[in-house]
């Protein structure tokens, strides 16, 4: 979800590691971002879970030219889903 709207929902049936997270980014986040923002830039907000902070995930974001806003794990400001 974003300020621009909501799109694809991904149901996850396994534990998340960096490789699985990057597949989710590739197949769900990128198409959603393209639909919401087109060619405009956007910032992805990530917390400090291991899949989000893995070197390979940081490389994935860098390779795709996506800016990442780091956010503390368990931040009360990090739960916008309740407002959705």
SS3 content of the chain, % helix, strand, coil (to 5): 50, 10, 40
Tokens found for residue 38: 């087109």
Q: What does pTM read for this prediction?
A: 0.78
Q: Report whether pLDDT(83) > 60.
A: no
What pLDDT is attached to residue 4?
82
* Separation of alpha carbons 26 and 21, rounded Å: 9
Mean pLDDT, to the nearest integer, of 17-36? 93
Mean pLDDT, to the nearest integer, of 73-84? 59
Would you list the domain boundaries of the chain? 18-74
Provide the pLDDT confidence category of residue 6 given band limits of 50, 70 and 90. confident
Backbone φ, ψ for residue 34 (5° rounding): -65, -40
pLDDT tens for 60-74 read: 999 999 999 877 666
Backbone φ, ψ for residue 50 (5° rounding): -55, -40
Q: Report whether pLDDT(24) > 60.
A: yes
């Amino acid at each position: 979800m974003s300020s621009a709207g909501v799109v694809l929902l991904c149901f996850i049936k396994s534990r998340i590691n960096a490789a699985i997270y990057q597949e989710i980014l590739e197949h769900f986040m990128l198409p959603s971002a393209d639909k919401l923002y087109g060619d405009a830039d956007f910032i992805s907000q990530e917390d400090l879970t291991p899949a989000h902070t893995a070197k390979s995930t940081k490389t994935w974001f860098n390779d795709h030219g996506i800016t990442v806003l780091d956010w503390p794990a368990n931040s009360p400001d990090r739960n916008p889903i309740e407002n959705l």
